[in-house]
Amino acid sequence: MAERLVTFEQDGAIGIVTLRRPEKFNALDVPMLRALEAALDEAELAEGVRVVLIRGEGKGFCAGGDVEAWGAMSAADFQVQWVRYGHRVFDRLARLRQPTIAVLSGHALGGGLELAAACDFRVAETQVKLGFPETSIGVVPGWSGTQRAVRRFGAQAVRRMAIGGEIFLAADALALGIVDRVVEAGKAFDESEAWGEKIAERGPLATEAAKLMIGIAEGEEDSAATEALASGFIALTGDLKAGVGAFKAKRKPAFSRS
């Protein structure tokens, strides 16, 4: 069932989104992208969830886009149903209101690394490999591997992966700023959960606002984020209450700038 390809569960303040296609190392196809989008919607709306972990079931985090899923597509379908839709889902992850941590207990290659790049933080086990191997089969990174990844990891690191074909182990990825923490095999989830719990202890509104402001600074967020911050501030004021009350009572509002 498509709805079981990606699941969401809540453990206190921690939300956990799990890719569940282990027989394909969690390679993404259109049904998985749809299920991921639905799980992210669920995570954002879940009451009390302050941090979201993204993980893969089995030995791989995510092997990227399933070649069998897109290999037979027409050019038009490849552009719209694959690349543009994948962008929409990954943008949804990048703009999730809660901080996100990619739990890299297995390799993150191609679209899998693009998925990890859409998270705020990445925790990798020592054996994990990361890279953009797309040009080896005649395609290019299509889910922001040359855009978001450059903003977050730097152009030279992405050049080495996407053009030079280098595959980095976790320790090298840490030195390059591609991942944030490296732990021994089998420890990525525990480390990510513990980190998430520490983040969850911080002021939730301040944390969400900080994420939005950083997103604006790096070009991840657009004008909607500015309006969201301003509107959230205004919603807490006495002026809004006065204005809404006056509208309902069909009288002139008495604003107090409070």
| DSSP 3-state of 183 | strand
CA distance 162 to 158: 6
**Token pair for 122:** 């990445």
> What's CA 25's distance to the chain center, in Å?
19
What's 57's DSSP letter?
S
| DSSP 3-state of 72 | coil
Catalytic residue among 57, 125, 134, 193: 134
114 is catalytic: yes
Which has the closest alpha carbon to 50: 195, 166, 229? 195
Q: CA gyration radius for the chain?
A: 20
First CA to last CA distance, the chain:
52
CA distance 97 to 78: 29
CA distance 17 to 9: 7
Q: Is 154 left (phi over 0), alpha (psi -120 to 50) or beta?
A: left
Catalytic residue among 57, 114, 125, 193: 114
Other Cβ atoms less than 10 A from the Cβ of 252: the count is: 7
H-assigned helices in 8-64: 30-45
Residue with tokens 């995570």: 43
CA distance 201 to 111: 32
Catalytic residues: 114, 134
